[in-house]
């Protein structure tokens, strides 16, 4: 009998009625939700609209099944983490809406995605951490039905571990089971089973340099939040906190700092979008709680994860110079190898386009292409093959060598993502001067046959751009104290084209500088970005 069949049998048996659920009148302890809600989103929930990252779906009693919405949006609905948005409002109307939606869901508002391990784990945690808000004052019948479902959910979750979602979402499943274990201490098997699998998940997900295996700041932030909550739950239960858990929290916090720009935003690689700086600051502060020491400053290089930070003066350059994550961890992966982002002071200048909205649609694939990143693309073909659940063909060999002297930085990197379709290697050399006001780059395509290619520089919407009359440069104007900059190039034709920024709550129009090379020309372009005035 295969592992999947055994797991499905355990899931079925866990859902069978039991005469001995050991149900209390209320959870034994109050699990705390340490993260703030959003009152604006809460107000929309009162109107029957669930919103996340710019996507919207109806959410009213009787409206749980919504096959028209994306998988991510449906999972968010059934995970109930949005209860914190109603809690943020804190009114009786918000409390009653939360109670009505939970009651309606229990009565049959479910679809298969609701039983996915990470969705169930999120829901268990959300119901327990908001019990005092919407359930404590409810009648006995509501509380009994809710608690019965919580225990049944936890039994099923314990039965299917290790979670079939073997990427970072497995931590959400474990978090839910640990929350149930301390809320229902009579079910002693919950905690034992969760602690059995927690160390192996940490070993799988934390790379030697402290980065997350998915190579996504978004995934790493979510993993860090989960681990912070798990640590708090174990402390609440009086259970020992594994040393590996504290080490993982410290590592994730430090490496997350490395991925921040001067404005506090995270670099938009592999499914990452803008996160409010106050929330990110709160997560990093929570990571220090009872850790015994301060989180160290972010490292300059993550050789195992494959990210490099070059910083001088007011300028920050963050480069993706690592191989994509292995299958099973590449759900969020983009084809952005050797892409970079550039910021000056508190203004981002050059970015990647960011991830597609949660609603998916036409942008679902386009946002993952190499052309949506600030790097070189050959013949409009992405450096990795994009599949609905990850990557197919991908760079197998990615190299990077960093040097620093007298405050200046160099990075030489290469990848072979186009070896199979074109027999080509892309090499990129980057230089950042000590002043931070002179950035230079060189892109080379090594191939037996010349290829048409383009080097793209996607601009943040805050940046205005003007092509010089001679066509040999582009003037970039940054707001506030960012000043003026000039992008010059040789070996290709410069042009300004439309682009889009998908990193924020709503898509925003912007521009991109495109440096075009030709198949019958020299397969090398040089460019420089320097401050003017």
Buried b (16+ CB within 10 A) or exposed e, 284-301: bebbeeebeeebeebbeb
CB contact at 8 A, 364 and 73: no
* Amino acid 2: pLDDT: 52
CB contact at 8 A, 506 and 359: no
How far apart are the C-alpha atoms of 462 and 484, rounded to whole Å?
13
Q: Are strands 386-387 and 398-405 parallel, antiparallel or unpaired?
A: unpaired
* Amino acid 22: pLDDT: 60
CB contact at 8 A, 370 and 382: yes
* Amino acid 16: pLDDT: 45
Q: Which of 349, 355, 312 is nearest to 333 (CA)?
A: 355
Q: DSSP 3-state assignment of 283? A: helix
* Amino acid 404: pLDDT: 95
At 101-146, the pLDDT tens digits run 999 999 987 889 999 999 999 999 999 999 999 999 999 999 999 9
* Amino acid 475: pLDDT: 97
Q: CA 330, 271, 401: angle at the middle one, nearest 5?
A: 70
**Which of the residues in the chain have pLDDT under 50?**
1, 3, 5-6, 9-10, 12-13, 16-20, 291-295
* Amino acid 440: pLDDT: 98
Ramachandran sector of residue 97 (left: φ over 0; alpha: ψ -120 to 50; beta: rest): alpha
* Amino acid 291: pLDDT: 45
Q: Which of 71, 33, 34, 31 is nearest to 52 (CA)?
A: 71
Bridge partners, 529 (sequence order):
439, 487
**Domains (ranges, CATH) in the chain?**
32-169 (no CATH), 306-532 (2.70.98.70)
Burial of 93 (0-12, 13-18, 19+ CB in 10 A): exposed
The H or E element containing residue 124 is helix 117-129
């Amino acid at each position: 009998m295969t592992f999947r069949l055994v797991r499905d049998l355990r899931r079925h048996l866990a859902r069978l009625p039991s005469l001995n659920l050991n149900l209390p009148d209320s959870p034994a302890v109050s699990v705390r939700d340490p993260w703030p809600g959003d009152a604006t989103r809460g107000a929309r929930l009162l109107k029957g609209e669930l919103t996340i990252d710019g996507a919207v779906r109806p959410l009213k009693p009787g409206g749980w099944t919504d096959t028209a919405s994306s998988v991510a949006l449906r999972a968010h609905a059934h995970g109930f983490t949005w209860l914190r948005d109603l809690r943020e409002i804190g009114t009786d109307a918000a409390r009653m809406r939360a109670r009505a939606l939970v009651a309606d869901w229990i009565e049959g508002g479910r679809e298969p995605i609701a039983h996915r391990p990470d969705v169930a784990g999120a829901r268990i945690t959300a119901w327990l951490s908001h019990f005092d808000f919407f359930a404590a004052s409810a009648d006995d019948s509501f509380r009994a039905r809710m608690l019965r479902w919580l225990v049944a959910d936890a039994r099923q979750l314990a039965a299917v571990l290790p979670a079939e979602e073997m990427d970072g979402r497995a931590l959400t499943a474990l978090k839910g089971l640990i929350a149930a274990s301390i809320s229902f201490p009579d079910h002693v098997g919950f905690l034992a089973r969760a602690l059995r699998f927690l160390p192996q998940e940490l070993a799988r997900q934390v790379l030697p340099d402290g980065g997350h295996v998915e190579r996504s700041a978004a995934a790493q932030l979510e993993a860090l939040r989960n681990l912070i909550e798990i640590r708090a739950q174990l402390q609440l239960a009086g259970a020992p906190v594994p040393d590996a858990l504290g080490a993982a929290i410290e590592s994730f916090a430090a490496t997350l700092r490395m991925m921040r720009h001067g404005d506090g935003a995270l670099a938009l690689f592999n499914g990452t979008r803008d996160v409010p700086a106050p929330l990110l600051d709160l997560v990093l502060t929570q990571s220090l709680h009872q850790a015994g020491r301060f989180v160290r400053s972010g490292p300059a290089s993550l050789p195992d994860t494959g990210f490099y930070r070059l910083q001088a003066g007011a300028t920050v350059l963050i480069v993706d110079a690592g191989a994509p994550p292995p299958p099973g961890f590449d759900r969020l992966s983009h084809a952005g190898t050797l892409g970079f982002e550039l910021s000056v002071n508190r203004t981002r200048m050059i970015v990647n386009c960011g991830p597609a909205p949660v609603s998916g649609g036409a942008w679902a694939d386009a946002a993952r292409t190499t052309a949506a990143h600030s790097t070189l693309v050959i013949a409009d073909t992405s450096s990795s093959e994009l599949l609905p659940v990850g990557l197919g063909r991908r760079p197998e060999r990615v190299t990077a060598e960093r040097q620093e002297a007298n405050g200046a930085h160099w990075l030489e990197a290469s990848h072979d993502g186009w070896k199979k379709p074109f027999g080509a290697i892309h090499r990129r050399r980057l230089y950042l001067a000590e002043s931070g006001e002179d950035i230079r780059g060189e892109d080379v395509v090594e191939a037996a046959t010349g290829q048409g290619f383009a080097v793209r520089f996607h601009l943040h919407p805050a940046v205005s751009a003007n092509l010089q009359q001679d066509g040999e440069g582009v003037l970039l104007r940054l707001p506030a104290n960012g000043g003026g900059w000039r992008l010059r190039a040789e070996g290709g034709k410069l042009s300004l084209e439309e682009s889009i920024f998908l990193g924020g709550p709503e898509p925003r129009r912007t521009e991109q500088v495109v440096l075009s090379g030709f198949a019958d020309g020299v397969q090398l372009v040089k460019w420089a970005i320097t401050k003017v005035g």
